[in-house]
Structure 1
Amino acid sequence: MSNRELAAWHEDHSFGQDQKKPGESRTIVVIAITVAMMVIEIVAGRLYESMALLADGLHMASHAAALTISVFAYIYARRYAHDACYSFGTGKVNALGGFAGALLLGIFSLMMVWESVHRILDPAEISFNQAILVAAIGLVVNAICATVLGHTHDHGDGSSCSHGHDHNLKAAYMHVLADALTSVLAIVALLAGKFWGWAILDPIIGIVGAIVVAKWSVGLLRSTSDVLLDRQATDLVLDRIRDAIEDDDHDVVDLHVWSIGPGLYATEIIIVSSNPVSPGDFKKMLPDDLSIAHAAVEVHQREDVPASAI
């Protein structure tokens, strides 16, 4: 067989990762907005002695860094999509970017707690009017960023693995939500301090916000680590594959399904059959909506397999 004929059988393992993702351009826009507001809030927090406002600004700094990591992941995945060093393309770079963003969420939640505790032990006079104005502007900016990103969550219908979404985009969206949360909490704390004299509420609210952000961080760490560690797909997905293949003649004796990128999965299947067909025929039986981009199918004649191996 000629090289040209062999090339026709070669399978492209980029799986579309060489295409620019919609989340990349949106994330760049959000970075520019976030950096501008970050500088305003940090300066204002120092000038007006508001821990809640300063925490919001520092949080935006962490998000700007995390969003930059997300953009780098998009660019890297696209640039090296066809690199033969990556067995299943660069789709997992997306999850790696999300994992890094989740770590930053966790680190800066600890920083928020540290600063808040320091303010409880060493209170400072707060310029409430100016701080409230800046926090309100920050909330509006966060709402704009959330709209730009336009991230939607999984529908949970079981049609795909639990880690099938764009983790880069999810990490970026969660950072924006965390910003919005700290802005809301800052406004509440500042209003309480201004009208009722509850200045202590400012650092306490900072701690509450840090706890919520830390919880989000843990959730994102779990979902991204599932992808990075090739966690098996849900039982529902595995059962659908078995139902599509198994009958009186065919039995699936070994099955693995794992994520190789946002909404993309690979599978390895070993089938024992008393009336075997080609691996290609078995691949055609796989449900299209499971988004299986790569399938390796091994077929054995039933009598050729030792009974102990079945």
Structure 2
Amino acid sequence: MTDHEERLSSRHQHVFLGEDHRRNETRTWIVIALTTTTMVLEIAAGSLFGSMALVADGWHMSTHAAALLIAALAYLYARRHARDPRFTFGTGKLGDLAGFASAVVLALVALFIAFESTKRLMAPVPIDFGQAIAVASFGLAINLLCAFLLGGHGHGHSHGHGHDHGHKHSHGHDHDDHHHHQEHGHHHPGEAPSRPVQDNNLRGAYLHVLADALTSVLAIAALLLGSLYGWIWLDPAIGILGALVIARWSFGLMRDTGRVLIDFVPGDDDLSGEIRRVIEAEGAEVNDLHVWQLGPGHHGAIVSLAARKPAPPAFYRERLSHIAALSHVTVEVEAA
């Protein structure tokens, strides 16, 4: 049996996890451990020494630990069920689902901060500036460490090869079913450029850490100025500003993950345009084209084309094989 025949007879798998799935999962668990440890220490120390600032910051960190847990469990579940045939197109989108959930939690955090800040703006309360600055500085140090661990929040490039990717495969349909199985390969000169890859699950975790860091930075600035000039109102005022920034991050994450979940493709999507250009260069006309994201760095496509002298589906699949972002292709050929 030739290599080609062996590939044709192989049962393909729909594994569309991100290239750095395991690394991102591990780092998310480390950040959860750091956040949870800090949370427990702050609540315990605050209760022992009667510091409400420590207790409040500890419970505040618990909300971010819960959101980070969503991200970590999504990574774990997606990896363990990556080859489960019940998931028609794999588990690559679980990260986007978790990212959407993180965006909702971020929105709730922003609302809570805005609500509490508005209350304190209308009815100021005494502030122990020294203790509050110390707690905010400690929280900032922890958040900067976590942000470093999650740095880049999932940006990378798709190269068509990775430990968790599985195999790139395509389907062709004419009158009979044809199956084509192609292994991943790296880009070579002259091939289509790699596309940016964004892991929205890691992005959600990163934004939670960043939101906490931003809150700490703004709090330190407000507390320092408040201690110097007696501006008690500045702390809740800057709290409202921080809530607006976090709400904006939440909206952006919700928009991007929501688009992936409902298979939204922008009208100027370069991947769709590249597929059309390749097919039309072969003298065929694209009658129908569907492109959607299967996971970070992985896209699926269904191409229905017509040609006066139609070639087999395998011919058109081969012409599209240089596009690394395509991991699952179905080609339907009709005579014009």
Is the TM-score greater than 0.5? yes
What does residue 261 of structure 2 align with? 228
Structure 2 vs 1, CA of residues 168 and 277 (structure 1 numbering), >3 Å: closer, same or farther?
same
1:37 aligns with 2:16: no
Counterpart of 1:195 in structure 2: which amino acid? L
Larger RCO, structure (CA 8 Å, separation 6 or more)? 2
Given that residues 13 and 82 in structure 1 are in contact (C-alpha distance below 8 angstroms), is that contact kept between their aligned partners in structure 2? yes
* 1:259-291 CA-partner distances (Å, limit 9, x unpaired): 011111100101111121111221121263441
SS of equivalent to 1:124: coil
What does residue 73 of structure 1 align with? 74
Q: Which runs of 5+ in 1 are unaligned?
A: 303-310
* 1:8-34 CA-partner distances (Å, limit 9, x unpaired): 253211235799521000001111111
What does residue 187 of structure 1 align with? 220
* 1:113-147 CA-partner distances (Å, limit 9, x unpaired): 11112222332211111111111111111111111
Given that residues 153 and 199 in structure 2 are in contact (C-alpha distance below 8 angstroms), is that contact kept between their aligned partners in structure 1? no
Structure 2 distance, partners of 1:57, 1:209, is: 19
% identical equivalent positions: 44
What does residue 307 of structure 1 align with? none
1:298 aligns with 2:299: no
Structure 2 distance, partners of 1:244, 1:7, is: 24
Moved more, 22-31 or 78-87: 78-87
Instruction: Quote the offset at 1:173 in angstroms.
Output: 0.9
Instruction: Quote the offset at 1:151 in angstroms.
Output: 2.0
- RMSD, matched Cα: 3.0
Structure 2 vs 1, CA of residues 206 and 18 (structure 1 numbering), >3 Å: closer, same or farther?
closer
* 1:76-120 CA-partner distances (Å, limit 9, x unpaired): 111111111111001111111111111100011111111112222
Given that residues 16 and 294 in structure 2 are in contact (C-alpha distance below 8 angstroms), is that contact kept between their aligned partners in structure 1? no
How is 1:47-196 mapped onto 2 (pairs within 5 angstroms)?
57-152=58-153, 154=155, 164-196=197-229
Given that residues 195 and 325 in structure 2 are in contact (C-alpha distance below 8 angstroms), is that contact kept between their aligned partners in structure 1? no
What does residue 246 of structure 2 align with? 213
Instruction: Quote the offset at 1:232 in angstroms.
Output: 2.0
Query: Normalising by structure 1, what TM-score?
Result: 0.85
Q: Would you tell me which structure has more helix in proportion to its own residues?
A: 1
Equivalent residue for 2:307, pick from 273, 289, 295: 273
Count residues with an aligned counterpart: 296
Q: Which runs of 5+ in 2 are unaligned?
A: 158-191
Instruction: Quote the offset at 1:38 in angstroms.
Output: 3.4
Query: Normalising by structure 2, what TM-score?
Result: 0.79
